[in-house]
Each structure stands twice: as C-alpha cells, then as structure tokens.
Amino acid sequence: MPTLVEHPTRIEAAGNKPKIIDEHVGRVNTGAEALSIAHMRSPGGWVEPGQRPEFDEYTLVIRGTLRVEYEGGALDVRAGQTVITRGGEWVRYSTPGDEGRRVRRRVPARVLARHRAPGSVMIVDAWMQHPTGAFLRQPMFASLSRWRGIEPSMLPETIPDEFTLSALDAAKVDKGLVSAWWGPRGPMLENDQVAALVAAHPDRLFGAASVDLHRPMDAVRELRRCVKTLGFKALRMLPWLWNLPPNDRRYYPLYAECCELGVPFCLQVGHTGPMMPSEPGRPIPYLDEVALDFPELVIVGGHIGYPWTVEMIALATKYPNVHIDTSAYKPKRYPRELVEYLRGHGRKKVLFGSNFPMIDPAACLAEVPTLELDAEAQALFLGGNAQRVFGL
C-alpha cells in the first residue's frame, strides 16, 4: 500500500545565511536510513562550509543558480539542470545570485550522529570557533573574509550550530575544541555562549575559556568558573589581540591558576593573519620565559609558530609540557622541519587543528597523507595527543 508523506520536517541548515531545508523522506521525517529527499531554499549570497559527504547527492535546481565548488574547480548549475556529486569528494555549495530552490536526493541518508568503529583513530580538532555575525564583521578579520569569499555585511547575527557540526561531520572529526574570545574591548565570543553550544552537543564539542587580561583577579575568577562550573578544558588567550607577549606580568596569575586547575594554556604563536602586530607571537624569548617560570604549566602553541616554527620546535623539544598545534595551516604548507619533527621525536608533541571557520577541517585532513606519517605518529597527531593534553 502506498504511504502518504503529509508534510516535511524543517531542519536547521549550515551556512553564512539562513537556508530552509524541508525533508520529505529521510531519517528525520520518515525514519528512512537508505535515502533522503529534501526541498531546499537558500537566499542570494548563501555559502555553506565545504564538506566531504559519505553519500552520493543528486540535486535538481528549480529556481536560480547553484554553484558547486570541488577540488578541481567550480561549476554553476541553473534552473532545470541536475548535478551529481559522489560520496567522498570535497564539495561546497553556494547561491551566487538571487534566491535558489532545488530538490536534493541523497543515497544513503546523511548520518546525523557519527559512530567511531572500534580500534579506529579518534580525531580531535584542537582549535575551532563557532562564530557570530558580529564576530566575523570585526575589521581585523578582513583578511579571513577575503580568503573565504565571505561578504561580512551579509552575515546573520546568529549562525546555526549546524554550521560547525556539519564541518565536523564532513571531516569525520570526533571532537572539536571551541574557543571563546576576549579582547581589550570586552568579550567577542562569550564564555557562556560557548558553554551553551557545548552543552547542546557534549559528545562533539568541548570548550576553551577566554578572560579579561586587563583585570587579572577578575580573570582568575572567571577562569575558575569556566573550568569548575562550565566544564571547560583549557584557557586560550591571543597575545596579538592584546599586543602583550605571553611573558607580560598580567598573564602570570592565570598561569598559576591553570596549574592549580590542571588545564592547559593555549595561545597563538607566529605571525598574525588578522590585521594586528605579529611581534607578541615570537616563541623566543617570550614563551621560553613562561615555560621556565612555570614548568608545571601545559602549553599549546597554535598556528605552528610560522615564520618562527624552528623556535617553537626548540621549545617543544626543550620543555616536556610545551606542545604545538597545526591550526591555520594545511599539511602541504607545514615547514619541512615540522614534518620531520612529527615523523620523529616530536610525534607526541604536535596536535591537529584547523582554525575553523578560517579553514575547513576536511580540507586539512585531506592532505594528511602527504605527511607520510607512520601509523603511530598519525594516530597521536590526529587525536591521541589532544586526548592526553586535554584529558578527554
């Protein structure tokens, strides 16, 4: 007997603008695991994160134009045309003109909750942000918007959780460390915002606090609240944002509290992509002095330290509790010295990171085979080291 699907279920969508997905057949609306059929409507200027789906997609464009970017280029699909993308290939969809409408069939249906096979490698992204429109419109992020092809004025104030979760799904990342941001003018991504996101998705996300460096005692109290009450796993501060290197006296109460709480201190090292000074990101002498003064402090230097990567490797070699994360760089851009360190005696000191939304984690992970790591080094790099450092 035929089954009538009386109405679809509306699903929260990823992207820089709100997109409507009405699922008619699929796991959410009908319980179907082997097939998904949905009607989608996206506004002009909508862009979703790049992804590497595990399913084939068949998309019929009803109105407007759908742009499909892939690793070899891009194509525009117009009304009345269909595009087929195969599971496992990297794609990114966008609506370059006016509103677009399309029907998409997926085989098999998208797996909403990812389950890791026994014995497989856990993947942890050690540096991510779930942004807001106001955050991405900051003038200092003009370079980020340019790299990603984002028009900041078109961004909504609230960006759906799915924007970040779909990036994790596309990359098969098990967990992501989502960071709060606090700058001299106040919070940019609030600790409580991050806490709410993590609480909604505790199996996928964990949080890193940020605090007001200009008020050290308030900062210590806020860090304590974030760890003890909100369950955060780290403190992250950005020296370039404050134009204060990490050996400045205002950081020191926070280092002592991190040691007492047993959480790592994470920071950016190297030059800055945003339009801010790079000098505070030099590993030597600034971070060198911190590691000397606080031998118990677990330190994770993000963004590989370029163009001072060799200095960062020297500190990670010298100090047992100093580590490096690779956020903001795809593997093909890692300096030769870092690759050799990963393959050899530094295999327990380097953590995988993407710096999403600047770079999609799937785009980073697609290049990991070029590093030619052995099985142990790769497992440690992709997740083992992060599990140990953050106590996952």
Q: How far apart are the first and last CA of the chain?
A: 50
Every domain of the chain with CATH number 3.20.20.140 lies at 124-390
**Residue 305: per-residue pLDDT:** 96
d(CA 309, CA 185): 30
**Residue 162: per-residue pLDDT:** 87
**Any idea which architecture 124-390 has in CATH?**
Alpha-Beta Barrel (3.20)
Residue 103: pLDDT band (50, 70, 90) is low
pLDDT digits (tens, 9 = 90+) for 252-309: 999 999 999 999 999 999 999 888 899 999 999 999 999 999 999 999 999 999 999 9
**Residue 178: per-residue pLDDT:** 98
**Residue 133: per-residue pLDDT:** 84
Helix (H), strand (E) counts: the chain: 13, 19
Helix (H) or strand (E) run with residue 171 in it: helix 162-171
Q: Are 354 and 360 in contact (CB under 8 A)?
A: yes
Average pLDDT along the chain: 88
pLDDT digits (tens, 9 = 90+) for 183-231: 999 999 999 999 999 999 999 999 999 999 999 999 999 999 999 999 9
Residue 140: pLDDT band (50, 70, 90) is confident
User: What CATH number is given for 9-107 in this structure?
Assistant: 2.60.120.10
68-94 burial string, b = 16+ CB within 10 Å, else e?
Answer: bbeeeeeeebeeeeebebeeeebbbbb
* Average confidence (pLDDT) over 30-55: 75
User: What's this model's pTM, rounded to 2 decimal places?
Assistant: 0.72
**CA dist list (Å): 152 to 45, 46, 107, 135, 216:** 11, 12, 34, 10, 33
* Average confidence (pLDDT) over 359-367: 93
Q: Are 91 and 362 in contact (CB under 8 A)?
A: no
pLDDT digits (tens, 9 = 90+) for 72-84: 888 898 887 888 8
Every domain of the chain with CATH number 2.60.120.10 lies at 9-107
